[in-house]
Structure 1
């Protein structure tokens, strides 16, 4: 007599076309609401468990067609594996969004969001959806790379290009070990994929991410710029900074200060920044002041001013620089690491006016 399927299993089978995508979104939303700091024990535990569970699910799922789990306790759960895989992929991908969203420089994270959207809808682009092993392992390598790019700097309390490269090598080694192990023990996997093609895809993703990092399209994780303001005055009182700046229109929610800065000759222009850094991570950062020359039509570097930060403060570690004798025109201040990697950009336009006054001057404590 044939065993009757449970209601949950029937539901999963009826909606198997959309289930993985919904579980990917579910994992993404859940972690976006619950994750906060990569150096918190909770965050590290959750993300580590996601990566371990994703690895285990991929191993079990890819050996299922070989009858490896027939007559075992795992057999009854095989139908749920595609959903679990997508949930853990969504959870790990959300880590990037949560920590990158701390940065005020959205232009520096657009590239990642493009990749994230691709991951989100890739199941509909591939004929076999989650059963496509090239998609499986490509997505696995991407999320493991991004995870270690955050995790290793927190563990060793250092952050530089070498550490980012090491993170990539660690994730590459783990991914290759998983692929080769499954390839060796699973006849169905050997029939489904060409090992050379799989390795080429993984290598391409590795090069792709490193090129993004090199060209500053991925911020130097796990640092992020929380706040960036072009201000008229910055005052420090004990552990608080009081920043006076002109607020922009309410509907320009993506900007802190008004783009047009009314400048009186001889006065100082301040740039204040608050940088998120994990606990005990020390790093030298700088404000790189640039002015757009109308003659050369290029950004000219005016001055670089460095200062130190030490991580751990929830609202970000703060600092400011200032300049006088400003020229009229477009200005930008890049917040950069010692290696020249960009955390974020504060841009504004200097309008020289000896009689003008700011319209909506606000004094805010940071």
Structure 2
């Protein structure tokens, strides 16, 4: 009973914090039909600044971080990203009424990371005076790229197998064995290698990953502390509040798109962030036991796992899987997944408080 009361108390307290309040305010504005809007260039500018801030801060912290302390959470983040996609491939992608490519695209988006949700988690921890490792932002690409690449490769391989099966079925029914199959396997492997290389290049060139990585590089190899403290840090909370307002409005608008697709996406969008967050929390807890990873770090790893990409993921998936229904995976992510992920942050904070303590 005490555990339940602690969690409920933490939830109520966190909903009053600026980050969650602005998200709910944006949803309310959209629900009331307000004409309020933020121009798209301004939105993109805010996102880039937030990503640069997270990347530079992470790079500065990595310089002084213990290699083992960084390595274990990074490996954990990679494993979580891949595990989320495999879980989606066994659940949503096999749901009646959901095509496999749409299910995998959605799972890939949910396995990838939302920079804005991560920033929201950091802001909430900062407001509560909860410490966490400064290199947390450096874990973003590990989970993000692992999930997107896994989802895209699985979808492409599935499509290739279906095409091969259709060609085989259209033939005379003879089973080909011997050297011919080896030739096709080698050729298929070469094609898959080229596909994987192209996916990795496109992912690293995406605006979100590029901004994060250049920020990380500046923090690692330059000395940007002065501009970081005088420009990025003071602007962070104000810009984040505007971003949360925009995301709240977009989440409400996207929710209507889900009427066009199977109800399975609604169930997935509600349950997946919490389940994925708990997986991330579990992996973070293992890192805590092995390396002393902080309770705040465990919470943020859970937040990354609970989030679904709203910046790098959609354009990557649109380019790599044009046959996938963007209304399905973007609508599920932005319309349901993102608000659920952000609203679940207090749950992870309460769990960390009870199981680990500050």
- TM-score normalised over the length of structure 2: 0.27
Instruction: Give the structure with the larger strand fraction.
Output: 1
User: RCO greater where, 1 or 2, for CA within 8 Å and sep 6 or more?
Assistant: 2
Instruction: Give the structure with the larger helix fraction.
Output: 2
Larger radius of gyration: 1
- TM-score normalised over the length of structure 1: 0.26
